[in-house]
A and B are shown apart, each in its own frame.
Chain A
Amino acid sequence: MGVITPPGAEAGRKPGAIVAPVSPSWLTTRLDFLVNWARSNSMWPMPFGTACCAIEFMATAASRYDIARFGMERLGFSPRQADVLLCAGRLPFKLAPVIRRIYDQMPQPKWVISMGACASTGGIFDNYAMVQGIDTVVPVDVYVPGCPPRPEGLLYGILLLQKKIRGETLADPSIRVEQTLDERGLRLPADQIDELSEPFGNSLHQTRSA
């Protein structure tokens, strides 16, 4: 499997693009700390709940697990006012343009959590209807394994994302570059999508007819 480079990563370095002229100094690192502290502790999730994982997401948001402890209680169902796209559940092909449209509508900075086996890899649905991992459609920051993940698992994924955000720096604008679709309408090169979507484990064996 090749290394996946986000298509926009080089675009940010093009001549004329805004590149931070300064090396990290005391001031910028303090600023980074402040900005990242604010961002990571008040992430507004956009719950893109499709299937079983959405129920566990609801459980995470409800009384016992209480996602509000991590600054995420404001569930914004409008992508225009959201920071984290939380794809909870399987993503069939029919829904792929929807999640892409929602992702495109979200303003920067934005992150994506892929919750559960189906969102991350297609899960047990290795068939004609299912996108084999949402990373073939939108970039993903944190994958939460499980079918479905327990609320604790999702909370751990959220903590990991917070950790990731705390490591970001304003001096590197390339991480905020919009990753648009290419002229063929794909996010990744076609061969990479095919490679990512290949059958895994014994799923090929199981698909042999009786």
Chain B
Amino acid sequence: MNPSAEALRRRFGPAVRRVAESCGDTIVTIDPAKNREILAWLKTEPDQAYNYLVDVTAVEYRDAELPIEVVYELFSLDRRVPLRVNAQLDKAGPLAIDSIVPLWAGANWLEREVYDMFGITFRGHPDLRRILMWETYAEGHPLRKDFPLRGRFSRSEQVRQVLTAEPEANYSMEELGIAGASYELPAEMRERLARSDRGPIPQPGRGAMAEPRTVELSLGTTGVDAEGRPVTVPLGIADPDRSVDEGSRLGGEHMLINIGPQHPATHGVLRLVVELDGEVVVRVIPHIGYLHSGFEKLGEYRHYNQLIPLTDRMDYLAPMSNNVCLAMAAEKLMGIEITERCQVLRVIACEMSRVISHLVWAGTTALDIGAFTPFLWMFQEREKIYNLQEAWTGARLTTSLTRVGGLMADIPDGFVDGLRKCCGSLLAVLDEVDAALTRNGIWCGRTQGIGVLTADEAIDYSLSGAMLRASGVPYDVRKDRPYLGYETYDFDVPVGEHGDVYDRYLVRMEEVRQSVRILEQAMDQLPGGPINVDDHRVILPPKHAVMTDMESMIHHFKQVMEGVRAPVGEAYFSLEGPKGELGYYLVSDGTAKPVRWRVRPPTFINLAAIEKMAVGHLLSDLIAINASVDVVMGEIDR
């Protein structure tokens, strides 16, 4: 039991309603009226120092009597301790709770998602809009238990509604009000917007925002003066002291540019609405949800093993680490210990997927910044790893490698040799990319000093993975919350200094090299033995036994027809995915299907910081910044 629970009891008395433990995690249930106060105390109290907000989500149980829970997953980066805090909201009362955005900026999108999916209002949230569904979505809140899986309307009605939707569905009210854009709206809509509860739209003609915002410009391109000394030539506005707002008064209106959802540089169907003053980014409003596929809702209708094919399709650049994460979360929930060989094979799977994910990242980011060749090199290497994946799992991309309690298959003959060869050629290609990019003047100019986040900002936004480490925070789940025996491997965690796009590139490239180190160690120490646990309540018995042995046949039948039952409880398991901390939170009510399957999507949370990174830079830098996040829309939108 986490001692923080006791400390909370002492400090807050009856506001702490219940302390429980499930699957090794301590869960503190608090009074919803005091959530902000308690979380602020946990964050700032020196003995507690839960300074990293991992996730905010909500759970609704199948039993309609039970309250809805808002769940906060916290982690102390200094003490390396997790804590889960939840607040129960009675369904009879208003579903509202204080927003914790004042404590952690990273809570912004997470709370918006909870609002979108559950209809819980966060009081004091700066921008509580739907995030995954469109703004005028009329069918309700999809993750509520009374919401049917296929939606409330018929398919034709759903298609009709989106095809005939008014621009409001695609733009936020705020954007529609931006000068220039509102001219193009029909008069009737302008009138309606003006009447809406969301406040009057600003008059066209003056600055872009309802309230003038001042943005400091610290832009410059480096040149040399007559004597050859480096000087900084300011871009955008000649006088660096002059603010953007002043510039707009002098020069005219801000411009609204819409990038995406179909744009080659957005790495999927991301849409960025950018407000520009000349070339300078004043504001970025990301719109996501264009690939929202209802994974979490679908998960509530599937057995635990049936979730694994879904995880492939979430972060499709690194399917195997998603498979591993789901199996580990389910095993944590069910209290299953996997075999040694399985552990090492899963390490190999995780590191292979880190390698291929970073390869795509480097290739496409270079492509965005104007270098085409690395893309071809990287895909050449990827194809080699794809071949290995295919030999192991039968699929190039959608691997579905794991099963709860083990793996779908053992590695085939010759796999280790193939992987060794692959590692060798991979290092050679990395050296080539290194030679082509790392000291390349264009590459450095496009990436250095761009999209800077300090360590404190990165923690405030709950960033993880290379985004966090490039800002100088050495948090790696493999080191700090070890799983799969990662503590026995010898590897380094690269950490950046400047927190810019260039450092993110360096960190990722070094991570690939470290992954190769881990892969080599794993191959050296690969133990023999079974890959699956010896428990036929969880793992299907071998086919020959099913055909000859009554008991095996019964196990087989029950597993296929009823699935594996998990005990009542909840488990959060996270691993260091290629994009950051990938966490799966499973809640079970004792049946074979989870009540709630929550994904802590690293890229969703990393992307939320894009405005922070991009404001004040040029539009073309926004592309580099967006690429540096390593977005994968399947995971962001789920």
Quick one: which of A90, A129, A197 contacts B142, CB cutoff 8 A?
A: A129
Quick one: which of A55, A75, A94 contacts B134, CB cutoff 8 A?
A: A94
With an 8 Å Cβ cutoff, the count of chain B residues facing the other chain is: 66
The stretch that binds A, out of B189-197, B296-304, B427-435, B571-579, is B296-304
Contact A64 B383 (CB under 8 A): yes
Tell me if A56 counts as interface (CB < 8 A to partner B): yes
Quick one: which of A51, A185, A191, A197 contacts B291, CB cutoff 8 A?
A: A51
* Given A94-B162, A129-B142, also A186-B313 (CB < 8 A): no
Cβ–Cβ < 8 Å partners of B269 in chain A:
50, 95, 98
Tell me if B397 counts as interface (CB < 8 A to partner A): yes
Tell me if B527 counts as interface (CB < 8 A to partner A): no
* Given A59-B383, A125-B293, also A210-B593 (CB < 8 A): yes
Distance of A93 from chain B, by nearest CB (Å): 5
Tell me if B309 counts as interface (CB < 8 A to partner A): yes
Quick one: which of B62, B147, B150, B162 contacts A97, CB cutoff 8 A?
A: B162
Q: Which of A146-188 contact B (CB under 8 A)?
A: 147-148, 150, 181, 184-186
**Majority secondary structure, A binding face:** loop
Distance of B588 from chain A, by nearest CB (Å): 10
- Which chain B residue shows the least CB distance to A90? B293
With an 8 Å Cβ cutoff, the count of chain A residues facing the other chain is: 56
Distance of A77 from chain B, by nearest CB (Å): 4
Contact A55 B380 (CB under 8 A): no
Tell me if A23 counts as interface (CB < 8 A to partner B): no
Bound Cα distance from A181 to B190, whole angstroms: 26
Bound Cα distance from A58 to B165, whole angstroms: 32
Cβ–Cβ < 8 Å partners of A25 in chain B:
none
Contact B263 A77 (CB under 8 A): yes
Contact A194 B154 (CB under 8 A): yes
Tell me if B268 counts as interface (CB < 8 A to partner A): yes
Tell me if A102 counts as interface (CB < 8 A to partner B): yes
Cβ–Cβ < 8 Å partners of A55 in chain B:
316-317, 360, 397
Tell me if B592 counts as interface (CB < 8 A to partner A): yes
Tell me if A145 counts as interface (CB < 8 A to partner B): no
Contact with A along B302-314 (1 / 0, CB 8 A): 1000100110110
Cβ–Cβ < 8 Å partners of A150 in chain B:
396
Cβ–Cβ < 8 Å partners of A199 in chain B:
150
Cβ–Cβ < 8 Å partners of A58 in chain B:
360, 379
Cβ–Cβ < 8 Å partners of A148 in chain B:
397-398
Contact A127 B293 (CB under 8 A): yes
Tell me if B375 counts as interface (CB < 8 A to partner A): yes
Tell me if A49 counts as interface (CB < 8 A to partner B): yes
Quick one: which of A95, A186, A206 contacts B160, CB cutoff 8 A?
A: A186
The stretch that binds B, out of A3-11, A31-39, A107-115, A130-138, is A130-138
Bound Cα distance from A125 to B142, whole angstroms: 14
Tell me if B525 counts as interface (CB < 8 A to partner A): no
Distance of B377 from chain A, by nearest CB (Å): 8
Contact B163 A125 (CB under 8 A): no
* Given A90-B293, A194-B155, also A128-B139 (CB < 8 A): yes
Quick one: which of B159, B165, B376, B593 contacts A193, CB cutoff 8 A?
A: B159
Contact A130 B293 (CB under 8 A): yes
Contact A128 B397 (CB under 8 A): no
Q: Which of A193-210 contact B (CB under 8 A)?
A: 193-194, 196-197, 199, 206-210
The listed residue with most A CB atoms (<10 A of its CB), out of B152, B269, B380, is B269
Distance of A101 from chain B, by nearest CB (Å): 9
Tell me if B634 counts as interface (CB < 8 A to partner A): yes
Tell me if A18 counts as interface (CB < 8 A to partner B): no
- Which chain A residue shows the least CB distance to B288? A94
Bound Cα distance from A166 to B289, whole angstroms: 39
- Which chain B residue shows the least CB distance to A150? B396
Tell me if A45 counts as interface (CB < 8 A to partner B): no
Tell me if A106 counts as interface (CB < 8 A to partner B): no
Contact B380 A95 (CB under 8 A): no
Bound Cα distance from A181 to B159, whole angstroms: 12
Tell me if B151 counts as interface (CB < 8 A to partner A): yes
Cβ–Cβ < 8 Å partners of A50 in chain B:
268-269, 290-291, 633
- Which chain A residue shows the least CB distance to B565? A210
Contact A62 B291 (CB under 8 A): no
Quick one: which of B155, B160, B302 contacts A184, CB cutoff 8 A?
A: B160
Contact B262 A77 (CB under 8 A): yes
Q: Which of B384-427 contact A (CB under 8 A)?
A: 386, 396-398
Contact A96 B159 (CB under 8 A): yes
Tell me if B488 counts as interface (CB < 8 A to partner A): no
Q: Which of B116-147 contact A (CB under 8 A)?
A: 133-134, 139, 142, 147
Cβ–Cβ < 8 Å partners of A209 in chain B:
62, 300-301, 593
Contact with B along A59-102 (1 / 0, CB 8 A): 10011100000000001010000000000011011111110101
- Which chain A residue shows the least CB distance to B62? A209
Cβ–Cβ < 8 Å partners of A54 in chain B:
268
- Which chain B residue shows the least CB distance to A185? B164
Quick one: which of B163, B291, B637 contacts A137, CB cutoff 8 A?
A: B163
Tell me if B292 counts as interface (CB < 8 A to partner A): yes
Tell me if A141 counts as interface (CB < 8 A to partner B): no
Bound Cα distance from A111 to B134, whole angstroms: 29
Cβ–Cβ < 8 Å partners of A96 in chain B:
159, 162-163
Contact B316 A124 (CB under 8 A): no
Tell me if B214 counts as interface (CB < 8 A to partner A): no
Contact A131 B159 (CB under 8 A): yes
Tell me if B445 counts as interface (CB < 8 A to partner A): no
Contact B298 A127 (CB under 8 A): yes
* Given A58-B379, A209-B301, also A98-B261 (CB < 8 A): yes
Bound Cα distance from A97 to B158, whole angstroms: 12
Contact A51 B316 (CB under 8 A): yes
Distance of B142 from chain A, by nearest CB (Å): 6
* Given A62-B376, A62-B380, A194-B154, also A95-B148 (CB < 8 A): no
- Which chain B residue shows the least CB distance to A151? B396
Distance of B242 from chain A, by nearest CB (Å): 36
* Given A92-B293, A95-B261, A207-B301, also A128-B633 (CB < 8 A): no
Q: Which 8 A-B pairs have the closest CB atoms?
A: A128-B151, A62-B379, A185-B164, A190-B156, A197-B155, A52-B316, A210-B593, A193-B156
Q: 26 A-B residue contacts at CB 8 Å?
A: A51-B316, A55-B317, A55-B360, A75-B264, A77-B262, A90-B291, A90-B293, A93-B159, A93-B162, A94-B292, A95-B261, A95-B269, A97-B165, A97-B170, A124-B298, A124-B309, A126-B149, A127-B297, A128-B142, A129-B133, A130-B294, A185-B160, A185-B163, A194-B154, A206-B306, A207-B150
New A-B pairs, 16, CB < 8 Å, besides A55-B317, A128-B142, A191-B156: A50-B268, A52-B634, A55-B397, A62-B380, A62-B383, A63-B379, A93-B159, A94-B134, A95-B290, A97-B162, A98-B261, A102-B262, A124-B313, A128-B150, A128-B158, A196-B155
Q: What residues make up the interface of B, taking CB atoms closer than 8 Å to A?
A: 62, 133-134, 139, 142, 147-152, 154-165, 170, 261-264, 268-269, 289-294, 297-298, 300-302, 306, 309-310, 312-313, 316-317, 360, 375-376, 379-380, 382-383, 386, 396-398, 563, 591-593, 633-634, 637
